[in-house]
A and B are shown apart, each in its own frame.
Chain A
Amino acid sequence: MAKQYVDMNTPVIEMRNIVKRFGDFVANDGINLTVHKGEIHAILGENGAGKSTLMNQLYGLLKPTSGDILVNGKKIVMNTPRDAIDAGIGMVHQHFMLIQPFTVTENIVLGTEPTRGVQLDMATARKNVVEISERYGLSIDPDAKIEDISVGMQQRVEILKALYRGADILILDEPTSSLTPQEITELIAIMHNLVKDGKSIIIITHKLKEIKESADFCTIIRMGKYIDTVDVEKVDENDLAAMMVGRKVTFKVDKPEQTPGDVVLDVKDLHCLDYRGIEIVKGLNLQVRRGEIVGIAGIDGNGQTELVEVITGLRKGTKGQVLVNGTDVFNKSPAFGFQHGVSSIPADRQKHGLVLDFSIEDNLILQNYEKQPYSKSNVLQREPISSHARDSIEKYDIRPSGSEKRPAGTLSGGNQQKVIIAREVQNDKDLLIAVNPTRGLDVGAIEYVHKYIVDQRNKGKAVLLVSFELDEIMSLSDIIDVIFDGKIVASIPGKEANENDLGLMMAGGGKKA
């Protein structure tokens, strides 16, 4: 798209020489940003580069140490998000701000609920929500509770929430990180519809492909410093990556040829129900052998989440077998699976992967706290725990270094993921399950994560990869299993796969294997 809706004479957002300090640490060091009416402007930077800090200042969550913010040409001091909302700015956060036990409708209208007298008018609210979701083509179940719906669905609710508030300027923080390729295409179409309407969109991302596909301009930030603002048409993905990371980045994963060994994971005729009690995995068969990566490609909601939950022991299935090295772990506890060789990188790293209040060193021993040398006669041994953490921080490049005593919640998303990977890889189990392992990570971090996953394969472990990123599935997998409607409908060698065929099969069409 070629800036066809951009009105270069009407800047809606101007951030001038923004500096934000936290103590000695400079998170934003003189950043400039101008966004025009009808423009999609990408903010590109690594995890922790200061993108979110910048946007949090625009949204009134943080106050700049110095610098000015102008909205529609008027200088505005944002004290709270309320000020930003009043100025027509809406923000969709990377980590969702949803109330889990409330329904989709209740979450979307929260704070602006329609009322009849003093009563809450839920019927109207529901009608409005359905209307707006249809208008923007984001289908949702207005009556589902947030805690029961997938991460992808929650993301949609967040986007709808901002739209519902009638924001003219939308800030989207990593909006596509949990969407399927089809959904991303839809979202980009929605974004184009919005700018056509005269709205402006700021999109925080580190996905270069999406920037190329959707944005007009891109501002690059590296380690808190303003690098450049570029016209997206005039640069390619390699230029963007180099500007973001400050070095050349390889996108290709090096994977030596090897012959897979014995079967480690053997799932036979698996059935299970979803949260509504409806069968979602319907007689699924799957095998993963030593030294191979099997990627599960599929659209969110076709049973892959539940499949992993059953294998890891978090969900009870209704029928079937899950053999790990010949031991049936079906309907056993997570601890039982772990003992028999299952380790996993969970989809929701903050819910299942980490205890955010715990220090990094305590998180690193989550499955091993009862073992030597981390404890002796049920007393934790601080020194081995800390030194193990220091080693892991060094080896897995968890930043900042020397942070073993800090709560995991204070790390950036990419570094939280590295903590989980450090733990699971070092557990050294025969089977590694990784679910969306690079969700929300920048290219630098993705490189690391992919390297560790491939390393496990090369060491002769069996790896089951579930990801909504087709690129990831295609570049890592030795075998791609396509899941549709609770079954594996096709199993093809990774080298022979192409995006179109996979997309078709994921939607239930195409050839069967």
Chain B
Amino acid sequence: MTKKKSFLDIVSENRFIHILLSILLGFLVGAVFLSVMGLSVGAAYGRLITSVTTRKGFSYVIVYSVPYIVAGLSVAFSFKTGVFNIGAEGQFVVGSMAAACVGILAGNLPKPILIPLCFIAAMAAGAIWGIIVGFLKTRWGINEVLSMIMFNWIAFYLSNFIAGIPAIHSDGTAEATKNISPNASMLFSKDFIKSAGLCPTANWGILVAIAMTVLVWFVIEKTTLGYELKAVGSNKFAAEYGGINVNRSILTALAISGALAGLAGALQLMGMGNRISVFSSQEGFGFAGIVVALIGCSNPFGVLIAGIFYGALMFGGSKLNLVGAPTQLINVIVGTVVFFIAISVIFENLKNLKPRANRNTEAAANKKTAEQKEGSKS
């Protein structure tokens, strides 16, 4: 075998190396762009690194990463259970708006009641958004990807509509909702932030994100629910044959995924947003969740790390204009990373060069099966 081919083998077989390589390539392509524009690669990447490695900078990174982690968990959960939740965007938006409504209208409730109430409202809203799509799929067989994309837009305009209702709309001139009650805010106290040298929006959302990471991992790996959902996601025929209610599982998976995306929306609002603007375009937290899930290999702990990485890129990227580099550079890097991760499919196809048949009858691509099958004999 040639050297190049064995390298291909390694990359396509080891997911972790593949992802590191994709990230590296992303930065490499970013460097090419910088050079073409006549900017210093060292200055730009140096700035990126220095801006996220200070104590204050890193606290920003963590604050930024919270909604990405939880949205990433939402998408990763859907991947594991065989539905592709491209609707995390819409679920994020309705979740965030539900939390805002509770945070504004019930603002007099004490913190220990109001905050959980906001979470519950957000998760319920996200779950309902997911269930509607699931219902359309299981009842009438409507493709969930299409309906999710449409539901993203319904969420978008619904959010803008609610933001315009007098009881919710800002009293000032801003095209946004009122600020949520201080009792719904998750910010650390001003004194603590000052003494610890953190960013002004430092909050304890990251603890929720970590708790959710562990919870999602536990549900997927350790519970009968996770078993059921994974069985349906991986072979719904066998699952049905084994007595699992397939439609109910799909609905459950979408509800949980939607609830996570909704929670991500609440965390963003209650941690840093404080209010919801009237959107002119989709904010893309849910879509970022797809990227984070991909980089994190749909593994909850991978998603946690990927979410922080993504947060670092977003925060660090916003500082790039200080050295004259365009902030859009980050989008180039992220786009390239996703491209190279997605290309793993191409790697596999390059190796097999066979029409991909139904996975149940064909047991993945032939070569792999043959190797594993023969390799498993003794």
Contact A81-B360, Cβ < 8 Å, known A27-B375, A56-B370, A351-B238 = no
Q: Cα distance A400–B360 when bound, in Å?
A: 22
Q: Cα distance A25–B373 when bound, in Å?
A: 11
Interface centre among A23, A355, A379 (most CB of B within 10 A): A355
Asked whether B241 lies within 8 Å of A353 as measured between CB atoms, the reply is yes
Asked whether A61 lies within 8 Å of B243 as measured between CB atoms, the reply is no
Q: Cα distance A328–B242 when bound, in Å?
A: 19
Of the stretches B182-190, B225-233, B251-259, the one at the interface is: B225-233
Asked whether A95 lies within 8 Å of B243 as measured between CB atoms, the reply is no
Asked whether B373 lies within 8 Å of A355 as measured between CB atoms, the reply is no
Asked whether B376 lies within 8 Å of A406 as measured between CB atoms, the reply is yes
Asked whether B355 lies within 8 Å of A99 as measured between CB atoms, the reply is yes
Asked whether A96 lies within 8 Å of B238 as measured between CB atoms, the reply is no
Asked whether B241 lies within 8 Å of A346 as measured between CB atoms, the reply is yes
Of the stretches A237-245, A281-289, A408-416, A485-493, the one at the interface is: A408-416
Within 8 A of A (CB), among B345-363: 353-363
Contact A52-B374, Cβ < 8 Å, known A95-B361, A351-B238, A367-B243 = yes
Asked whether A367 lies within 8 Å of B242 as measured between CB atoms, the reply is yes
In this complex, the interface size class of chain B, counting residues with CB under 8 Å from chain A, is: 35 or more
Candidates B228, B356, B369; contact of A409 at CB < 8 Å? B369
B48 to A: closest C-beta gap in Å: 39
Asked whether A52 lies within 8 Å of B370 as measured between CB atoms, the reply is yes
Asked whether B237 lies within 8 Å of A378 as measured between CB atoms, the reply is no
Candidates B356, B360, B378; contact of A356 at CB < 8 Å? B360
Asked whether B242 lies within 8 Å of A410 as measured between CB atoms, the reply is no
Asked whether B367 lies within 8 Å of A61 as measured between CB atoms, the reply is yes
Asked whether B357 lies within 8 Å of A96 as measured between CB atoms, the reply is yes
Within 8 A of B (CB), among A48-72: 48-50, 52-53, 56, 61-63
Contact A97-B362, Cβ < 8 Å, known A27-B375, A48-B374, A410-B373 = yes
| Dominant SS among interface residues on chain B | helix
For A, the interface residue count at a CB cutoff of 8 angstroms equals: 63
Residues from chain B with Cβ under 8 Å of A399 in the complex: 376-378
Candidates A52, A63, A98; contact of B358 at CB < 8 Å? A98
Contact A409-B377, Cβ < 8 Å, known A334-B240, A378-B225 = no
Asked whether B354 lies within 8 Å of A410 as measured between CB atoms, the reply is no
B141 to A: closest C-beta gap in Å: 14
Contact A409-B372, Cβ < 8 Å, known A96-B357, A358-B234 = yes
Candidates B1, B235, B240, B362; contact of A95 at CB < 8 Å? B362
Contact A380-B223, Cβ < 8 Å, known A25-B377, A56-B367, A97-B355 = yes
Residues from chain B with Cβ under 8 Å of A48 in the complex: 373-374, 376-377
Residues from chain A with Cβ under 8 Å of B231 in the complex: 355, 358, 366
Contact A82-B362, Cβ < 8 Å, known A334-B242, A357-B235 = no
Contact A348-B361, Cβ < 8 Å, known A355-B231, A378-B223 = yes
Residues from chain B with Cβ under 8 Å of A61 in the complex: 366-367, 370
Candidates B222, B228, B238, B375; contact of A354 at CB < 8 Å? B238
Q: Cα distance A370–B237 when bound, in Å?
A: 19
A444 to B: closest C-beta gap in Å: 13
* CB-defined A-B contacts under 8 Å, sample of 21: A25-B378, A27-B377, A50-B374, A52-B370, A81-B354, A98-B357, A98-B358, A111-B355, A312-B241, A338-B243, A348-B360, A356-B363, A357-B235, A362-B227, A367-B242, A379-B224, A380-B224, A400-B376, A409-B364, A411-B373, A411-B376
Residues of B within 8 A of A (CB): 1, 222-228, 230-231, 234-235, 237-245, 353-364, 366-367, 369-378
6 closest A-B pairs by beta carbon, nearest first, are A335-B243, A48-B377, A366-B242, A22-B375, A410-B372, A27-B374
